[in-house]
Structure formats: C-alpha cells, structure tokens
Amino acid sequence: MRILAVATLLFCSASLLLAQNQSAEKLCYSAPPATTVSHDDGVTVQKIVLSGTWGSNEATAYLPDKEIADGAVVFSHSAIHSDSGVSIDLMTFAATLVHAGAAVIVPQRTLLWPATDRWMNREGGVVICAEHWLIDHTKVFNEGKGTVQMVNGTNVVVREGYGYVGPALCSPSVTSYCEHTTPFTFDDCGYTRYCGTSVVYVPIGEINGGDNTNHLLSTGALREAQWLQKQLGLIPIGALASPHPASGLAAMR
C-alpha cells in the first residue's frame, strides 16, 4: 500500500508539473515571421510581433552576423521615463551589446519611474514571450550554459550565457498577487529549454534596493553595458553605440 501511495504521489506531482509547463507554453502564441528592417555594420535588426494570452507587442531584435552569438540579452522595456521629465532610450544600450557580439530582444514599451505600486512595470507575459522568441531563433555560445574553469580547486563560472535587463516580473500564472519571477525562471527546468541556469541581471524598475534606474537616467548605460560585456564574454565596450534609425528610436512614448 505504501509503494502504491508513493507511486500515486509521484504521478500526481509529475502531472502537475507537466500541466504547469503546458500552461506556460500557451502563454505565448507562435510569432509570425520577423521583418528585417536593416542589415548593416554586422548587425541585423528585425521587428517581431509577440502575442499571447496577455495581448500583443512589437519587439525589436538585434542579431549579430555570426552563426553563434557570444551571449543573449532580454530587455523588459525599450525606454525609461521618470516623473521628473528625464528619459533614456534603452535601444542604444541594446545596440551596444549586439555590436559586442550578443543577440538582444527589446519589447517596445516604456518603464515609468518611480513605480507607484507593486504591479507597475512588472507585466510578465510580454517579457517571457520575448525570451522564448530569442531562445527559439538564436544560437548562443556553449548553448547558453555557464563556462567554468578550475580556480584553487573550485569550479568558478567565468562566462555566463544570458542576461536580463529589467525588474522582477509578476508571474502571469498568478493573478491574486504579484508573485515575482523572471523570464529565465518562469518555465520549469525539467520540461522546457526556456529555463536559464546561467543568467546575470541588471535590475531596473525596482523599488526595494539594488536598482540601476536612477544611474541610467543620470549617466547613461555605459557602466551597465560594460558589466554585461564582462559577464557574458563579449567584445570589450569602450563607448555606447548608436542604433540604426529603423530600430525604433521614435517609439519612445
């Protein structure tokens, strides 16, 4: 009887995890083919329409002209606008990373700062679907797994696979309160390739410390770009790049 009970429990647990994963997959609809808007200086800029149970969004993808990108970065927003009137366009940040060898995707939407409630700027569906698209359409060095080396007898990660620029997200699967997740931790690692285990974060839009929003608004994104470059093993960054006009600079609103 005990063996039967344990087997039943394991079956129910596996069924629950499978159902959760299937629910996560339904969150994102299949995206129509991307539209290439520019291809020059070693970079392809594409427009993608992301959609799902949460709605739809036009995102911009920056893809380096190489079969395997050195890393991949997901942005939660394309711009930041503060209540003081100061704004920053994050597309320049994204363009800098792609010129350094990373594949990048940026949903077209503005982060409002400071946040006035726990839900603000944390809509999870669009960012999770952006991450799914990037993983489906790019190849990343070492399959996005962290690269390690032995240091003093201990394995130390010396190169991460993925980066995320944005706040913690409200899980789309929970509606009664904001359960925090990220685009790389929302999906169950046992059932899907969308789970990332080698990810570094640049938090913006956070209200409980550890936030880079005010720094970005006051000095730009060079420090954050250089930090991601080191973590992902990209080409050294000396200055911020200028994105192609077709990439959506006018979309800041």
The per-residue pLDDT for 26 is 82
Q: Which domain holds residue 115?
A: 2-251
The per-residue pLDDT for 185 is 96
Q: Please tell me the distance from the alpha carbon of residue 222 to that of residue 57, in angstroms, as a whole number.
A: 27
Q: Please tell me the distance from the alpha carbon of residue 234 to that of residue 17, in angstroms, as a whole number.
A: 36
- What is the domain count for the chain? 1
Q: Please tell me the distance from the alpha carbon of residue 10 to that of residue 7, in angstroms, as a whole number.
A: 5
- How many CB atoms lie under 10 A from the CB of residue 181? 20
Each of the 253 residues of the chain gets a pLDDT tens digit; together they read: 444 443 333 334 343 333 344 444 589 999 999 999 999 899 999 999 999 999 999 999 999 999 999 999 999 999 999 999 999 999 999 999 999 999 999 999 999 999 999 999 999 999 999 999 999 999 999 999 999 876 666 777 789 999 999 999 999 999 999 999 999 999 999 889 999 999 999 999 998 788 999 999 999 999 999 999 999 999 999 999 986 555 544 333 3
Q: Please give the DSSP secondary-structure letter assigned to residue 183.
A: T
Residue 209's beta-bridge partner residues?
none
Phi and psi angles of residue 147, each rounded to the nearest 5 degrees, phi first: -95, 130
The per-residue pLDDT for 154 is 78
Q: Name the nearest CA neighbour of 96 among 238, 233, 214, 201.
A: 238
Place of tokens 């629950």: 16
The per-residue pLDDT for 112 is 98
The per-residue pLDDT for 253 is 30
Residue 52 tokens, joined: 């799902």
Q: Please tell me the distance from the alpha carbon of residue 165 to that of residue 77, in angstroms, as a whole number.
A: 8
The per-residue pLDDT for 2 is 46
